[in-house]
């Protein structure tokens, strides 16, 4: 991680974002939306953040851009600590960091024409001084994202969802950024339109040497788009590796369950599903120890003597009684490994694959 951070454009260290929900008897309650996230993105690379809804993916992206205040942690952009900069010093850096929002209609001002929407960052950052220069630049951007210059005089409601997202991409490109947060940019679009937008983003990345933080929950999209993938659960990264390595050899049980849920377009195949029991715990009161232990199938297998040292190998013997403890899950007593219940696992690299990190006690 340290070696990768030395050559990275964006470095995130122990990022935490908590939201105060209410106070009870002089004690504040917090939603731990992001709880100790660290990663680095090299220039020209795409890091995908995946996980179920509510895992904190969008909050990470918005906190990095300082759209949401961080509780603690550090974000370095091109060597500068963003959280230590005053607003005046952040202004020139905002030109280099942009975001593409999930909702292609809600993110566009319905009172402005397309020209006004795309030209706004040109005015704010004083990229084009005259109106004629701005119009020319807007026409160039519209053509680059696959729209016509004549569309500049129309309003957002006159376009389809895919066309609106192209307008949002053109607006993000207007300030000539280095880094773009793509917050589920295709989740609200039809499948055929998704492919067009993803191909466009890939072409733009190669042309302008862009760096992406790609937030998504569609693992099939991530497999074809990302260079590196980080899996989030309950505000934490539980596994991170290069795309091919992660898809070929997932280590964390939550990652395995996500991959098993991906539909296989072959009616003759019956993939084995890894079903999780129970619901995601509340981020207001997360479980102690490993946040995944109430739903973890490996924890139950380890206690029962069904967990193998390696996939397909002989199972380990059941854990001795002093290494287990009894906890209540869903109102029923369950015996689980004591380490999983009491100790938070660190995100550590595998001994033979230093670029593959995971946070699971039972996969060490």
Q: Please report which confidence band the pLDDT of residue 56 belongs to, taking 50, 70 and 90 as the band edges.
A: very high
Q: What percent of the chain has pLDDT over 90?
A: 77
Poorest-pLDDT segment among 55-69, 145-159, 242-256, 267-281: 267-281
Output the six-digit token pair for 319.
């854990």
Mean pLDDT of 286-306: 93
**pLDDT at residue 260, rounded to an integer:** 86
Distance CA 77, CA 88 (A): 16
Mean residue pLDDT across the chain: 92
Distance CA 225, CA 144 (A): 20
Q: Please report which confidence band the pLDDT of residue 25 belongs to, taking 50, 70 and 90 as the band edges.
A: low
Q: Is the pLDDT of residue 275 over 90?
A: no
Q: Which residue, among 290, 285, 288, 279, has the nearest Cα to 29 in the 3D structure?
A: 285
At 122, phi and psi to the nearest 5?
Answer: -65, -35
**pLDDT at residue 130, rounded to an integer:** 94
Strand partners, 75: 12
Q: Is the pLDDT of residue 2 over 60?
A: no
Distance CA 317, CA 303 (A): 9
| Cβ atoms of 14 and 36 closer than 8 Å | yes
| Cβ atoms of 47 and 180 closer than 8 Å | no
Strands (E), the chain: 8-24, 27-42, 46-50, 72-77, 80-81, 97-100, 179-183, 211-215, 228-233, 236-242, 324-329, 332-337, 348-349, 357-358
**pLDDT at residue 9, rounded to an integer:** 97
Distance CA 309, CA 145 (A): 50
**pLDDT at residue 262, rounded to an integer:** 78
**pLDDT at residue 276, rounded to an integer:** 81
Rounded to whole angstroms, the maximal C-alpha distance in the chain is 77
What is the dotted CATH code of the domain comprising 1-96+177-264+273-282? 3.40.50.300
Q: Is the pLDDT of residue 131 over 90?
A: yes
Strands (E), 234-299: 236-242
Strand partners, 40: 11
Going 71 to 101 to 45 to 114, the CA torsion angle's sign is: negative
Distance CA 142, CA 119 (A): 11
Helix or strand holding residue 243 (H, E): helix 243-248
**pLDDT at residue 160, rounded to an integer:** 93
Q: What angle do CA 314, 292, 186 make, to 5 degrees?
A: 110
**pLDDT at residue 3, rounded to an integer:** 52
Residues 6+ apart with CB under 8 A from 107: 101, 168
What b/e string do you get for 98-122 counting C-beta neighbours within 10 Å, with b at 16 or more? bbbbbebeebbeeeebbbebbbbbb
Mean pLDDT of 329-342: 92
| Cβ atoms of 307 and 362 closer than 8 Å | yes
**pLDDT at residue 166, rounded to an integer:** 96
Q: Please report which confidence band the pLDDT of residue 312 belongs to, taking 50, 70 and 90 as the band edges.
A: low
Tokens 């593409």 — which residue? 100
Poorest-pLDDT segment among 41-50, 237-246, 263-272: 263-272
Domain residue limits, the chain: 1-96+177-264+273-282, 110-172
**pLDDT at residue 148, rounded to an integer:** 96
Q: Is the pLDDT of residue 267 over 80?
A: no
Mean pLDDT of 283-298: 93
How many Å separate Cα 343 from the centre of its chain? 25
The distance in angstroms from the start CA to the end CA of the chain is: 18
Q: Please report which confidence band the pLDDT of residue 1 belongs to, taking 50, 70 and 90 as the band edges.
A: low
């Amino acid at each position: 991680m340290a070696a990768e951070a030395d050559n990275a454009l964006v470095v995130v260290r122990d990022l935490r974002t908590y939201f105060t929900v209410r106070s009870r008897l002089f004690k504040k309650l917090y939603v731990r939306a992001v709880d100790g996230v660290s990663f680095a993105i090299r220039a020209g690379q795409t890091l995908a953040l995946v996980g179920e809804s509510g895992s904190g993916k969008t909050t990470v992206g918005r906190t990095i851009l300082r759209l949401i205040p961080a509780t603690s942690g550090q974000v370095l952009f091109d060597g500068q600590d963003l959280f230590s900069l005053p607003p005046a010093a952040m202004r020139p850096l905002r030109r280099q960091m942009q975001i593409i929002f999930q909702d292609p209609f809600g993110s566009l001002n319905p009172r402005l024409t397309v020209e006004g929407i795309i030209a706004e960052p040109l005015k704010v950052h004083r990229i084009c001084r005259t109106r004629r220069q701005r119009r020319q630049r807007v026409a160039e951007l519209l053509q680059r994202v696959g729209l016509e210059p004549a569309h500049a005089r129309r309003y957002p409601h006159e376009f389809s969802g895919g066309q609106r997202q192209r307008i949002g991409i053109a607006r993000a490109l207007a300030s000539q950024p280095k880094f773009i947060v793509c917050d589920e940019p295709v989740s609200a679009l039809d499948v055929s339109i998704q492919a067009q937008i993803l191909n466009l983003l890939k072409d733009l990345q190669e042309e302008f040497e862009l760096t992406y933080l790609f937030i998504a929950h569609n693992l099939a999209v991530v497999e074809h788009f990302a260079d590196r993938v980080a899996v989030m659960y309950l505000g934490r990264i539980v596994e991170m590796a290069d795309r091919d390595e992660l898809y070929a050899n997932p280590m964390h049980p939550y990652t395995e369950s996500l991959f098993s849920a991906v539909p296989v377009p072959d009616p003759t195949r019956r993939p084995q599903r890894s079903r999780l029991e129970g619901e995601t715990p509340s981020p207001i009161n997360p479980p102690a120890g490993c946040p995944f232990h109430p739903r973890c199938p490996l924890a139950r297998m380890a206690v029962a003597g069904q967990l193998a040292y390696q996939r397909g190998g002989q199972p380990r013997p059941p854990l001795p009684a002093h290494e287990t403890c009894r906890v209540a899950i869903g109102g029923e007593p369950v015996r689980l490994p004591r380490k999983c219940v009491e100790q938070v696992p660190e995100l550590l690299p595998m001994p033979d694959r230093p670029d593959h990190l995971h946070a699971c006690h039972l996969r060490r």
